[in-house]
Structure 1
Amino acid sequence: MVELFTKLGIPGPCPNFFVGNMMELMGKGKLVTEVMAEWENQFGLVYGYFRGTRATLVVRDAELIKDILVRNSSEFINRPHMIMNVPPLPYTLVGLRSQRWKEVRNTLSPTFSSAKIKQMLPIMSNCVQTTLEILKEKSKSEVRSGEQAVDAHKLFQGLACDVISACALAMKVNAQRDENDRFFRAVRGFLENAMGPFVKIALCFPLLATVMEWALKTFGYSHEMTKMIMENVQTAMKIRRDNHSTSGSVPVDALQLMMDATVQEHSTSPPSESTTGSARSLALSDDEIVANAWVFILGGFETTSASLSFTCYLLSIHQDIQERLFTELKASFAADESPSYDQISELAFLDQVVCESLRLYPPVVSFVVRGMDKDCQIGPYHVPKNVGIQIPIWQVHHDPEIWSEPYRFDPDRFEDNAKKSYGNNMQWIPFGTGPRNCIGARFALLNLKFTLCSVLRKFKVVPASNHHSFKLKLKVPSVTIVPEEGIPLRFLPRIE
């Protein structure tokens, strides 16, 4: 194990024979981002480590990142092979590989175009209306009985669950009003335990992967959530097809858009490898539709709720920036008006605030990874196949040579056309980049911006009175960085 990177002339921490560098990465007391920062300081911008028996090459050199994600993306089009093939993950854009991934990605891409996402704004608006009602009730309760701090992370987890369930799963969830909602609990449980013991054992002892697959399906937190999603989506698809054949009317949401993207007669299993030509490439199986609806909640739930929470936290401790943003919102739409898609698109300072928040707290810190099915050249290094390539987003976004005072919240970094420049130079890549970037980035940004517009137009966000010097404690339970102990904030109604 040690000899692999040594022979390549690539430095890195010394791995344990059985667990690789898992003890350092997942041990208590340090975040994975802190461990990787220490490794970078010690070994440089390119180094290797082991997740169990899996070799991973970390690359933070900007030109090499562009080679991997953009210039030579066809050589790095796949993610590493999955540790365990637990359905429905193999049928998702995360699990699909090579040609079939390209076909499904091309078929699904129009679902996440600006025009299509714009059609889902009314669904978001209904869910955010519940958020506003909850904050209004909290403010009235505060008048009667004293300060009522709101855990922003828990609030926005409920909102994210409601929005994604309504848009992608055809599920009516009441997570904002009921934190004990069965589906809400199942989603939170799954994400909190995504890197649980079954996965860790499979990483360290690949021969036990099949046994761990069975254990995960039988006892894992994902079982309840997956069963609920699959049953609900399959039922919704059948009802919609039956209704369409009689009435011709269909709802407008991501699930329907995925169904519409399948132009062939629907099938009940993935297209076979023997199927050729455009007929195969244009068809999504029912399994693939259900699987990608399933992955929508995994990809969007914690990333959206954490980003909303972090942004509100930053604005609460930077009142001058919050007031600048409020001034822009006030000039754009009235307090009793729901912002339109076009209005949101024209809010320049809002975009700067969101960009800076995503720089400071990128949604995922260890998910921009690539796998190779053959040997390849990365800069001066000849890297053998099956070595994973990881782009350390946190380190990219906090490089002091790129970002002056990298831990300072300064939206003016993104004024004018700076966002495009940073992105082109691989300095700001919160959603990845290149052909395998996050397909749901537009949806996530609209959800984030619409919620911020709606909340901040009506409420001023301040820290809870006993948390004015509050410093966030963070954790990375899987690939998303989230607050460890919640974010207590007060939302004070604005009086005009």
Structure 2
Amino acid sequence: IGFSRLEKLDIRHPKPSPFIGNLTFFRQGFWESHMELRKQYGPLSGYYLGRRMIVVISDPDMIKQVLAEKFSNFTNRMATGLESKPVADSILFLRDKRWEEVRSVLTSAFSPKKLNKLTPLISQACDLLLAHLERYAESGDAFDIQRCYCCYTTDVVASVAFGTQVNSSEEPEHPFVKHCRRFFAFSVPRLILVLILSFPSIMVPLARILPNKKRDEVNGFFTNSLGM
């Protein structure tokens, strides 16, 4: 029954394996596999992560309906159940009425007038990025552009959201930069991930109660930074 929903909806998809669904389909990588999914099954397709049904759309008109015209039907995001506070209380994981309440409050924070006040902070981070790129341009050396933009994004978030001035490119060991790196470097061992996706009712509660020093340290740092 768990692997019949896509078929009942007449959505094309790879044949799932017992318990793990289509996990093996993603052996070549997340983006590459989605491109292959579209190539094989069209702009409306799907797959299973464990028993969780995923629908993938790549048709522009359908995307417009989801993101704009009928967005009120698609406000909830997929959650694993492993999210801990304060991440679990962010707008990314809030659901239904609570999401609407928080979204309404946040909307006022992104008014043009208030965003204009942030322009100097964003410009300052942009100046650091340009100075960094200029050195590479003058030397002619190859460099990692993704890392440069990651540093720029970190600098903007640090100043705008946390009131902390950093230069991520020059200060990679700054506490804020280091904890951001630890946050985004979070990964789950493949075997554990397979077990969680295959047996979520058992593994998710178990994973939530197991001690996780790294998670607690990172959450504690950002919670203290916000004065929560």
TM-score by length of 1: 0.41
The Cα offsets for residues 316-342 of structure 1, whole Å up to 9 and x where unpaired, read as: xxxxxxxxxxxxxxxxxxxxxxxxxxx
How far apart are the structure 1 equivalents of 2:130 and 2:59?
44
Q: What residue ranges of structure 2 are gaps of 5+ in the alignment?
A: none
Mapping 1:10-159, distance limit 5 Å: 10-25=11-26, 27=27, 30-135=28-133, 142=139, 147-159=140-152
Question: Shift of the alpha carbon at 1:134?
Answer: 4.0
Q: Which amino acid aligns with 2:212?
A: T
Question: Shift of the alpha carbon at 1:104?
Answer: 0.8
Q: Over the residues paired in the alignment, what is the CA RMSD in angstroms?
A: 2.7
Selected match of 2:181 from 156, 169, 188: 188
Q: Is the 8 A contact 1:120 1:167 kept in 2?
A: yes
Selected match of 1:230 from 214, 217, 223: 223
CA, structure 1 residues 59+138, in 2 after alignment: closer, same or farther (shift >3 Å)?
A: closer
Equivalence for 1:161: 154
How far apart are the structure 2 equivalents of 1:108 and 1:87?
19
Question: Shift of the alpha carbon at 1:138?
Answer: 5.7
How far apart are the structure 1 equivalents of 2:133 and 2:37?
43
Q: Is the 8 A contact 1:138 1:148 kept in 2?
A: yes
The Cα offsets for residues 268-327 of structure 1, whole Å up to 9 and x where unpaired, read as: xxxxxxxxxxxxxxxxxxxxxx6xxxxxxxxxxxxxxxxxxxxxxxxxxxxxxxxxxxxx
CA, structure 1 residues 189+81, in 2 after alignment: closer, same or farther (shift >3 Å)?
A: closer
1:204 aligns with 2:202: no
Question: Shift of the alpha carbon at 1:230?
Answer: 0.6
Q: Is the 8 A contact 2:179 2:221 kept in 1?
A: no
Question: Shift of the alpha carbon at 1:42?
Answer: 2.4
CA, structure 1 residues 224+199, in 2 after alignment: closer, same or farther (shift >3 Å)?
A: farther
SS at match of 1:2: coil
Question: Shift of the alpha carbon at 1:46?
Answer: 2.1
How far apart are the structure 2 equivalents of 1:156 and 1:44?
33
How far apart are the structure 2 equivalents of 1:162 and 1:63?
36
Selected match of 1:178 from 171, 177, 180: 171
The Cα offsets for residues 28-75 of structure 1, whole Å up to 9 and x where unpaired, read as: xx2323222222232222222111221112233444434433333333
How many residues of Structure 1 are paired with residues of Structure 2 in the alignment?
Answer: 225
> Which protein has the bigger helix share?
2
How far apart are the structure 1 equivalents of 2:132 and 2:60?
44
The Cα offsets for residues 215-255 of structure 1, whole Å up to 9 and x where unpaired, read as: 4x6144x4333221111111xxxxxxxxxxxxxxxxxxxxx
Q: Is the 8 A contact 2:158 2:176 kept in 1?
A: no
SS at match of 1:49: strand
Q: Is the 8 A contact 2:3 2:51 kept in 1?
A: no
How far apart are the structure 2 equivalents of 1:204 and 1:219?
25
CA, structure 1 residues 115+186, in 2 after alignment: closer, same or farther (shift >3 Å)?
A: same
Q: Which amino acid aligns with 1:44?
A: G
Q: Is the 8 A contact 2:91 2:99 kept in 1?
A: yes
CA, structure 1 residues 174+64, in 2 after alignment: closer, same or farther (shift >3 Å)?
A: closer
The Cα offsets for residues 98-125 of structure 1, whole Å up to 9 and x where unpaired, read as: 1111111111112112221111111123
How far apart are the structure 1 equivalents of 2:208 and 2:60?
37
CA, structure 1 residues 135+72, in 2 after alignment: closer, same or farther (shift >3 Å)?
A: closer
Q: Which of these two proteins has the greater Rg computed from alpha carbons? A: 1
How far apart are the structure 1 equivalents of 2:11 and 2:83?
31
The Cα offsets for residues 349-376 of structure 1, whole Å up to 9 and x where unpaired, read as: xxxxxxxxxxxxxxxxxxxxxxxxxxxx
Question: Shift of the alpha carbon at 1:132?
Answer: 4.2
SS at match of 2:88: helix
CA, structure 1 residues 196+164, in 2 after alignment: closer, same or farther (shift >3 Å)?
A: farther
Q: Is the 8 A contact 2:162 2:225 kept in 1?
A: yes
Selected match of 2:212 from 210, 215, 218: 218
How far apart are the structure 1 equivalents of 2:130 and 2:64?
42
Mapping 1:48-447, distance limit 5 Å: 48-135=46-133, 142=139, 147-194=140-187, 197=190, 199-206=193-200, 207-215=202-210, 218-220=212-214, 222-234=215-227
Q: Is the 8 A contact 1:12 1:43 kept in 2?
A: yes
SS at match of 2:226: helix
Q: Is the 8 A contact 1:83 1:203 kept in 2?
A: no
Question: Shift of the alpha carbon at 1:169?
Answer: 1.2
Aligned-residue identity in percent: 24
CA, structure 1 residues 58+195, in 2 after alignment: closer, same or farther (shift >3 Å)?
A: farther
Q: Which amino acid aligns with 1:24?
A: F
